[in-house]
Every structure is written in C-alpha cells, then in structure tokens.
Amino acid sequence: MSAAPGAGALEKGAVLEPRTFSVTRADLVRYAGASGDFNPIHWSERVATSVGLPGVIAHGMFTMALAARAVADWTDGAEVVELGCKFTQPVVVPADEDGVEVVVGASVKDVADGRVTLALEVTCGGTKVLGMPRAVVRA
C-alpha cells in the first residue's frame, strides 16, 4: 500500500486505490462490545434467519466505519467534515475464520473552499452495500 498524499494533494476526478477489509464474526463481537449493539442478528444464525436475513450480518455502522478507515488512509487522517450513506444491502458474515471482504473505493468529486468531496463505493462480493456513501474532508 502506498503512502497517502494527504487531502490537499487530491485532485477532482482522481480515482483512489480501493481498500479491502476482511470482516469476521470475531470482528462483529468486538464491535458489539465497543458499540453496545448486541442485537442477535449480528451473532446468531438462528435469529438472523428467523427474521428473514440470509445469515448473520455486520452492523451497518461497522460497515460505515470501514469506509471511514479508507477515507482516513487516502487523506492521511484529514479532518472529516461529513460522512454519510444509506444502508441498502447487508454484509453477510460466514461462520469461518476467513469471513468476508468489504471493498471501499472512491473518486474525488470536488475540491473547493478547502474541502475535498469523495464519492465512495462500498461493496461486498461485488454488490453495493451502502447507498450514496460520501465523505467530505478538510484539505
């Protein structure tokens, strides 16, 4: 992975190198402890499938946090002014040690007034899992 140039070096139209994150059920347990969100759809196959989900799913905010990690990496930790998305598809996490991969990509939509706007794309297995994800950082 190459060093991040910092938000001030980003130019409109640039496509940023995607970041890939592995997500395991152990990650979900740790996130539940940190966030206080112990909803059983994030750890119990039985409960998740009983409510119509395809299996245990990652917390939406955990998935969004992965996008924030990628933004921090691309911008060398620039201050995040805005971060938002819609939770559109679940990230299904299998019960194995490998888990599943979440890929975060981005393009620079705008650079103006000391801010950089990034259009994000967050996918799992080739499916977009966050709708309209976007970040704005100080340049």
Residue type at 23 in one-letter notation:
V
Give, in order, the Cα–Cα distances in Å from 89 to each of 14, 15, 114: 27, 24, 33
pLDDT tens string 60-69: 999 999 999 9
pLDDT tens string 5-50: 678 789 999 999 999 999 999 999 999 999 999 999 999 999 999 9
Average pLDDT over residues 88-111: 97
Rg, C-alpha atoms of the chain: 16
What are the helix and strand counts (H, E) for the chain? 3, 6
**Proportion of the chain above pLDDT 90, given as a percent:** 94
Q: How far apart are the first and last CA of the chain?
A: 21
The CB density around residue 138, as the number of other CB atoms within 10 Å, is 14
Cα separation of 112 and 138, whole Å?
Answer: 10
Locus of tokens 């799913």? 57
Q: Is 126 helix (H, G, I), strand (E, B) or coil?
A: coil
86 and 106 Cβ atoms separated by less than 8 Å: no
User: Can you give the pTM of this predicted structure?
Assistant: 0.92
